[in-house]
Structure 1
């Protein structure tokens, strides 16, 4: 059932809980007050019913049906239409799960359309019903309470991202799999960017609402609440911006460390090649002398010379010692 919770409130107190939308319309006409309708993935027929009853703008209705909207707020006559992106952090996967919440706020109604499990609007409703004086301030009070709930839900995400970034910084200078660490930094950076897209528009939205408070005669207490939410959003934006900068720096540092390790490995390999080449050259010289006199030609004067053997051994030793000294001097050995 798309209708999750539904109430008609007079002077901040629930006077009726209609079972369907038609009963809600009749109850609102009978009692006055405000209607707070909570829908979860409603059908086009249900959204069309609400649109007809409250004269919602077709463009806003189209956005609510299609989903996948960016965070925004727009005014159509006496009705506010807002799109919020609630989110929650899944620590094991190091990913952020985004929801989508559409709100229609009019003079005597609030309609919420959720496309995901979050946020927990039941908690907002319970909190508002526990303070009838807040609900008595009208639909704007409900709207601001929902805004506050969505923004408060960002704090655990900030904490989760901070913990993961701390772990990455520890791994940067430790023994870790380079490929796995690079992937972790990249994927976390992608989550931070997506989070920025959800959070950054809120500051402009709230500032726009704040500027319109005087024109639409918003209660002073609600204006204070709005400023508090705006301050919270600004702090979250600053933290998220710093996270993105830290991750970009971490990726740069990681790339530099990987390059340095590869360079050191290459230098070590070059040293080994030098040693192998040096010993091969040292061994080659005696081998060459021995090979010449091992060809078994009959006409080789040195074969019948009394000092031929000592001279051959001496030549081999001289070549070997000479080459060893040269390579030692050049620090190849």
Structure 2
């Protein structure tokens, strides 16, 4: 990196001058009216990779930047108000479409160029061990000649750590806005590693639950699949974004060492994407296996119910057969138990043996019939 500092000064050098909307002398320009910011996390101006000013408001940042055009302004905000974004747009000539996206959030990961300014949307992620879920956050960046603006809509990534890293490497930071953009890309992609590890652990647990017969596993597979798809949407655009960024840096003569760093980030992003694709396929396979196991379990339960019903029917047939056998003598006894004066068999010497014989014969006959039909 012997020529790093010399080439770094060419970073983001465009055909036009810096902040072309404010070319008047600093003593004759009134600061843009800005409300007291509640979302300003950190604001600093850097010269040759070192922090030279630490303003405590946007208005002060604007004033110092105009007074020292050789500096680079790096402003970090979290959930800024519309008035704050409007003041930034006025000061740095931000495009209204990019400003609208930054204000509304809920954007896909993308990289767009508006004149001399790059507008970048990144989807950062964090794995929450307590709930075993993935939390996604949005980060918007405006990168132009002499300035970097970061607008966060969540708790990740930790841009204060990125700022500390860059301030500890003034030679890298002296490259200008491109170095900051690289460092933020690097932090976001590095933040995906714990998410990948957490998802891998969840998938391993689900695999155990699938073959362990846990009835709630289907819901967990579905919920984890949704997280993986969301993660995939965050990571997939990065490859194209980084290729486009690398092409632009080559066009504008950004230092080769910094471009090499960017290619390393692209490699990491591609590796994460491969793992996410593997996760999605694994979950799809698990869902299929789980559906098969559930179907087999349902078939086994249905078979058991059918067998139980068959056994119950067999018992009912036996009960019915014995009831019929017992009903025959009861019927005969009932007939001859009627109190009629003119019933010849009641006065016959062999009437009683005949009735008993009829009862026995009927019972034997029914028993034989039911036995042949396997009812008994």
TM-score, structure 1 normalization:
0.91
Residue 208 of structure 1 aligns with which residue? 244
Matched, 1:22 2:53: no
Mapping for residues 3-18 of structure 1, pairs under 5 Å: 3-18=40-55
The one of 289, 294, 318 aligned to 1:282 = 318
Post-superposition Cα deviations, 1:177-225, rounded to whole Å, max 9, x if no partner, equal x2x2111111111111111111111111111112222212121111111
The one of 86, 93, 116 aligned to 1:55 = 93
Mapping for residues 103-118 of structure 1, pairs under 5 Å: 103-118=141-156
Task: Check the 8 A contact 2:140/2:152 in 1, yes or no.
Answer: yes
Residue 331 of structure 1 aligns with which residue? none
Structure 1 stretches lacking a partner, 5+ long = 328-333
Displacement of 1:297: 1.8
Mapping for residues 82-121 of structure 1, pairs under 5 Å: 82-121=120-159
Structure 2 stretches lacking a partner, 5+ long = 1-37, 337-342, 346-350
- In the aligned structure 1, how far is the partner of 2:154 from the partner of 2:355? 101
Q: Which protein has the larger Cα radius of gyration, Structure 1 or Structure 2?
A: 2
Task: Check the 8 A contact 1:210/1:223 in 2, yes or no.
Answer: yes
- In the aligned structure 2, how far is the partner of 1:55 from the partner of 1:273? 80
Provide closer, same or farther for how the CA distance between residues 283 and 43 of structure 1 changes in structure 2, counting only shifts above 3 A: closer
Matched, 1:266 2:302: yes
Residue 66 of structure 1 aligns with which residue? 104
The one of 284, 289, 292 aligned to 1:248 = 284
Residue 235 of structure 1 aligns with which residue? 271
Displacement of 1:97: 1.3
What SS does the corresponding residue of 1:117 show, helix, strand or coil? Answer: coil
- In the aligned structure 2, how far is the partner of 1:91 from the partner of 1:314? 77
What SS does the corresponding residue of 2:88 show, helix, strand or coil? Answer: helix
Task: Check the 8 A contact 1:285/1:319 in 2, yes or no.
Answer: no
- In the aligned structure 1, how far is the partner of 2:217 from the partner of 2:294? 11
Residue 167 of structure 2 aligns with which residue? 129
Residue 329 of structure 2 aligns with which residue? 293
After alignment, is 131-140 or 241-250 more displaced?
241-250
Displacement of 1:311: 3.1
Task: Check the 8 A contact 1:286/1:319 in 2, yes or no.
Answer: no
What SS does the corresponding residue of 1:206 show, helix, strand or coil? Answer: helix
Report the aligned-residue RMSD.
Answer: 2.0
- In the aligned structure 1, how far is the partner of 2:241 from the partner of 2:187? 16
Task: Check the 8 A contact 1:286/1:315 in 2, yes or no.
Answer: no
- In the aligned structure 2, how far is the partner of 1:206 from the partner of 1:303? 109
Residue 322 of structure 1 aligns with which residue? 372
After alignment, is 89-98 or 151-160 more displaced?
89-98
After alignment, is 275-284 or 74-83 more displaced?
275-284
Task: Check the 8 A contact 2:173/2:180 in 1, yes or no.
Answer: yes
Displacement of 1:323: 4.0
- In the aligned structure 2, how far is the partner of 1:274 from the partner of 1:302? 42
Post-superposition Cα deviations, 1:262-300, rounded to whole Å, max 9, x if no partner, equal 111111111111112122223322321321231222389
Provide closer, same or farther for how the CA distance between residues 279 and 315 of structure 1 changes in structure 2, counting only shifts above 3 A: farther
The one of 260, 267, 290 aligned to 1:224 = 260
